[in-house]
Amino acid sequence: MVCRMKADLASIRSDYQRAGLDEQSAPSDPIRLFERWMQDAIDAKHPEPNAATLATLGEDGDPDARVVLLKGVDDAGFVFYTSYESAKARQLAAHPRATLVFFWLMLERQVRVRGEVTRVPEAESDAYFASRPRESQLGAWTSHQSAVIGGRAELEAKLAEVTTRYDGKDVPRPPTWGGFRIAPTSIELWQGRPARLHDRLRYARGEAGAWSITRLSP
């Protein structure tokens, strides 16, 4: 096979040695640990610390994935916002389960959240939409996310139209836009360690809602 890249990808490697993760000091609730790690990423000024890859099951049965921004986390789960007409939303309607993967390179950490997906209540989506910058609100009305379009001019014409429509008025939330919440059934936290002997703790939620912890081989 002819490789066109000048860089030798096979020779790129880093040794991870910033921190460790052990069962004794890990809290019994993985959401507490996730919140701590997210705060660490924010404090470290990690770029887009709340960006995560969202994996869903495609309508054709193939896996699909894309990046979204986490907009909330609490005991009920992990929330992101999107178009309810997008490919991901159609996929989640057919198969309401998803995985979110966070990667904080500066901290040598990965978190993998798997769970069941529901739409967030309308009032919660309304409150978040109202907090967004006006240009993002207009963008939500402009884009039919994941639809094929003829060119950028189409988008710009639509933006001009919605900008005129809402001139001098509050922009309401489009009914086709809102949040999803992933209620986690398992959360795996990964901390890079030297010599590829990384720490992996997987929390799984049992029938009664209690979390159990297991260590996975790297």
Residue ranges that bind ligand FMN, judged by CB under 6 A: 48, 51, 66-69, 80-82, 86-88, 145-146
Give the integer Cα–Cα distance in Å for 100 and 48: 15
Q: Which residues pair with 52 in a beta bridge?
A: 68
- At 183, the amino acid letter reads A
Nearer to ligand FMN among residue 145 and residue 204 (C-beta): 145
Q: Which residues pair with 118 in a beta bridge?
A: 181
Contact 145, 83 (CB under 8 A): yes
Measured from the CB of residue 180, what is the shortest distance to ligand FMN in angstroms? 10
Nearer to ligand FMN among residue 146 and residue 200 (C-beta): 146
Measured from the CB of residue 92, what is the shortest distance to ligand FMN in angstroms? 9
- The closest of 178, 157, 181 to 85, measured between CA atoms, is 178
Relative orientation angle of helices 152-165 and 134-142, to the nearest 10 degrees = 120
Angle formed at CA 100 by CA 102 and CA 34, multiple of 5 degrees: 55
Residues annotated as catalytic are: 196
Nearer to ligand FMN among residue 68 and residue 171 (C-beta): 68
Give the integer Cα–Cα distance in Å for 214 and 218: 12
> Assign residue 195 a region: left if phi > 0, alpha if psi is -120 to 50, beta otherwise?
left
DSSP 8-state code for residue 90: H
Nearer to ligand FMN among residue 71 and residue 202 (C-beta): 71
Nearer to ligand FMN among residue 20 and residue 63 (C-beta): 63
Contact 99, 55 (CB under 8 A): yes
